[in-house]
Amino acid sequence: MVKYRVLIGKPGLDGHDRGAKFIARLLRDEGFEVIYTGIRHSAEEIASVAVSEDVAAIGLSSLSGAHLKFFPDVVSELKSRDASDIRVLGGGVIPDEDIPILIESGVETIFTPGAPAADIVASFRKACEAHQKENEGNY
Amino acid sequence: MSNRAQKLLADIKNKNARAIGKAISIVENETELCDDLLIGLSESEMPQYLVLGITGNPGAGKSTLTDKIIAHYRKQNQRIGIIAIDPTSPISGGAILGDRIRMMQHATDSDVVIRSMATRGRLGGLCSCAGATVRIMAASGCNPIIIETVGVGQSEIDIVSLADISLLVSAPGLGDDIQAMKAGLLEVADLLVINKADLPGATALFRDLQMLAREKEREITKTIASTGEGVDKLIKQIELLEKDYNESSYILKKREASKKKEIIDWSLEMVRAKLEKNIEHFALTNSDPRLQAKDFIKQHLKDMQ
């Protein structure tokens, strides 16, 4: 059985990592291999790690209001590394009106406070399955 | 070799990060392309490389020390590979791989190839998969290649056997587990490191280790990984040892032993998969499981491919 590898990262200067760590543990308990990169990183760093770790999906957490900048930045950094197949999911304190903008920019799903853990796990699993399917036969 | 494997191999040699990442996954998951890739790797001329093993208790500062060692080699413009191993949860099968946090300053340096790896509860330890990963990194021009792993349990000791030179990192304040390690890792490590050497208890730890180190003729180096103090001295020790091992061709003997260990590990992985599949159809009897195992093996091992 292929194990799903995901990256949980916090872009920007936001240091509130409880949410990110909670998601990392949650996914570990659901059988995922979770690469946690810690707080305060650039979109470039996160995308670069995602490529060398060959993850299927990235979960970004932002509680500081910088999501409109950083989430799309990660998407485009992946693109510039020929890694658009890596899915990007986001979560944090994100106003409703920003969600369509983020989805439009290439983020797969956005989770806001109160999102049920089971939904989050299901979304990651779906993203990983889609990634695996897309990559079948590549290389 | 298939065209796909040839392309992958060429991309690895061109230091393409995507290709290196994918190739390691292919070996980890033993997917379709795995054998072709390994054929290609073993047929191609491999540049020289040194494998460093870094092990020690959780919290001893292995990742921070690794970070500083990376910085040292980067200053000399050497491309470096790191395999950071963390345990898989025996309950969920998942893992949190967090060693990278300490090495993030190198995240965008394309000549630092870091790969986190979970133990995945392999029967034969990790040598099979980590060994192939070492060679993928080496083919992309990495030298040295560091394998970092928590120093508890048999599989971690096995990992040390993959290394040409292994470092055991201890730190004061981790208590009596030094006692527990005495019988295991201390005996197989080539160099002893006391990290966090500025903390109280470092001198006492030094004295504890000194007796053993004298017995085994091992060097002890004190480091403070957070500031980088002592790292230059440690690298000198590594270089001295490397020279020594090369001159006495001890390194060749070591590599031969570790190749054999890898073969055993791959064999166990393959045999296990087969046995687990066949046990479904095995008719249980009343005799002791050990005796049944002998029958079971007799039935199934001979047609093993």
- The answer to whether residues B163 and B191 touch, using CB atoms and an 8 Å cutoff, is no
The pLDDT value given to residue B183: 59
The pLDDT value given to residue A96: 97
Residues in chain B: 305
Q: What are phi and psi of A98, to 5 degrees?
A: -80, -20
Asked if A23 reaches chain B (Cβ–Cβ under 8 Å), the answer is no
Predicted complex: ipTM over 0.90 = yes
The pLDDT value given to residue B184: 65
Asked if A18 reaches chain B (Cβ–Cβ under 8 Å), the answer is no
User: What is the arithmetic mean of pLDDT over B196-220?
Assistant: 87
User: Closest by alpha carbon to B192, among B164, B163, B212?
Assistant: B212
User: What is the arithmetic mean of pLDDT over B100-124?
Assistant: 89
B176 pLDDT higher than 60: no
Band of the pLDDT at B182, cuts 50, 70, 90? low
* Cα four-point dihedral sign A16, B65, B153, B31: positive
The single-letter code of the amino acid at B3 is N
List the single best residue of B63, B97, B110 to mutate versus A (max A Cβ within 10 A).
B97
**Model confidence pLDDT, tens digit, residues A87-136:** 999 999 999 999 999 999 999 999 999 999 999 999 999 999 999 999 88
The domain that contains A80 carries what CATH number? 3.40.50.280
Band of the pLDDT at B120, cuts 50, 70, 90? confident
Number of folded domains in chain A? Answer: 1
The pLDDT value given to residue B212: 76
Q: Name the residue range of residue A9's domain.
A: 5-135
* Cα four-point dihedral sign A43, A45, A48, A52: negative
The pLDDT value given to residue B46: 86
Q: Which residues of B touch A83 (CB under 8 A)?
A: 18
Q: Which residues of B touch A53 (CB under 8 A)?
A: 21, 114-116
Query: Higher-confidence residue: A34 or B258?
Result: A34
The pLDDT value given to residue B179: 58
Buried b (16+ CB within 10 A) or exposed e, B147-179: bbbbbbeebbbbbbbbbbbbbbbbbbebeeebe
Residue in B with minimal Cα distance to A48: B108
User: What is the arithmetic mean of pLDDT over B279-283?
Assistant: 87
Report how far residue A46's alpha carbon sits from residue B199's, in angstroms, rounded to the nearest whole number: 34
Report how far residue B302's alpha carbon sits from residue B305's, in angstroms, rounded to the nearest whole number: 9
In the A/B pair of chains, how many CB contacts fall below 8 A? 99
Report how far residue B101's alpha carbon sits from residue B91's, in angstroms, rounded to the nearest whole number: 25
Asked if A134 reaches chain B (Cβ–Cβ under 8 Å), the answer is no
**B61-75, B100-114, B138-152: lowest mean pLDDT where?**
B138-152
The single-letter code of the amino acid at A70 is F
List the single best residue of A3, A27, A74, A136 to mutate versus B (max B Cβ within 10 A).
A3
Beta-bridge mates of residue B221: B193
Distance from CA of B8 to the nearest CA of A (A): 6
Q: Which residues of B touch A45 (CB under 8 A)?
A: 104, 107-108
Query: Higher-confidence residue: A129 or B181?
Result: A129
Band of the pLDDT at B123, cuts 50, 70, 90? low
Report how far residue A27's alpha carbon sits from residue A35's, in angstroms, rounded to the nearest whole number: 11
